[in-house]
Structure 1
Amino acid sequence: MLPYSIKLTVTEKDLDDLRHVNNVRYLDWIQQISKEHWQYKADESLQKQFVWVVRKHSIIYHSAAKLNDQLLLETEIINSKGPISVRRVIIKDNKAAKLVVTSETDWCLINPVSMKPVRIPDSIKNLF
């Protein structure tokens, strides 16, 4: 399963009272890269047929990112079974090559009309 990555620079709006990246911001970035990866891989037809919702997030904070740090976010699917796909996101300081955050998220594939879980079809599994 091939990883997908983006780079970003920490801005003032990303910081908390301690001048580190706010924990909620990391969660935003995890969701952002996950959504971007899906939109990059899946055509418009698949995106209309299916929607992903979060079942569970697990985040480990290894170090703090600060203002102007350049971060590399990488994501990949590490496992899929039934309607659940487990996605890993790793956030690193791109200059120092220092690990900042690791996360795993269980995403559930649903039908947007019925709002019920759907077994992940091979056409989606094969994308990742």
Structure 2
Amino acid sequence: MSTAPAEPSVFEIPIVVTTADIDDMDHVNNVVYLSWVQDVALAHWRACATPEMLETLGWMATRHELDYLRAAVLGDAITARTWIGTVDSRRFERFTEIVRTADGVVLARGRTLWLLVSRVTGRITRITPELRARFPASVV
């Protein structure tokens, strides 16, 4: 799985680990990491898309790869980071890192492939150059 490029266009959101995130092993449950991957992707989409895009388009994940490297625990401040990889007319590759803010340790690293979906028809739609231009990529 790819690591962050030297000068990516990175989008970040802060997260604080809560009691609801903790499993019976006293660390963040694996499913929670995946929800953070989705949360940062959605926040990035909302930050970059036009109001019309937000109203008429959405994303569907077709593949998630997630490597769990270290545990997060209750109260940890986390930074979820995402950046765009390869984009073609059908697929949108997104990389994510879940980082412990205090020391910069990467706790999880992921890659997701997304398809663009029309909210009007419910069908997969092409990624236009206009949409693509709203997301500076580190890999073209």
Q: With structure 1 as the length reference, what TM-score do the two structures score?
A: 0.95
Identity %: 28
Give 1:106 deviation, angstroms.
0.5
Q: Find the aligned partners of 2:117 and 2:101 in 1 and give their Cα distance.
A: 35
Say whether 1:24 aligns with 2:31.
yes
Selected match of 2:21 from 14, 26, 35: 14
The separation in 2 between residues aligned to 1:50 and 1:123, in whole angstroms, is 13
Secondary structure of the 1:64 match is coil
Q: Distance in 1 between matches of 2:49 and 2:115?
A: 16
Partner of 2:40: 33
Displacement of 1:96 in angstroms is: 1.7
Contact in 2 for aligned 1:10/1:68 (Cα 8 Å) = yes
Q: Which residue of 1 aligns with 2:5?
A: none
Q: Structure 1 stretches of 5 or more lacking a match? A: none
User: What is the distance in 1 between the residues matched to 2:73 and 2:12?
Assistant: 20
* 1:100 aligns to 2:107 (yes or no): yes
Q: CA deviation at 1:70?
A: 1.0
Pairwise mapping of residues 1-128 of structure 1 onto structure 2 (< 5 A)?
2-128=9-135
How much does 1:72 deviate?
1.0
Judge conservation of contact 1:86–1:107 (CA < 8 Å) in 2. yes
Deviations 1:52-107 (A, max 9, x none): 11111100000000111111111011111122101111011111211100011111
Normalising to structure 2: TM-score of the pair?
0.87
Moved over 3 A (4+): none
Once residues 7 and 38 of structure 1 are traced to their aligned partners in structure 2, the CA distance between those partners, rounded to angstroms, is 16
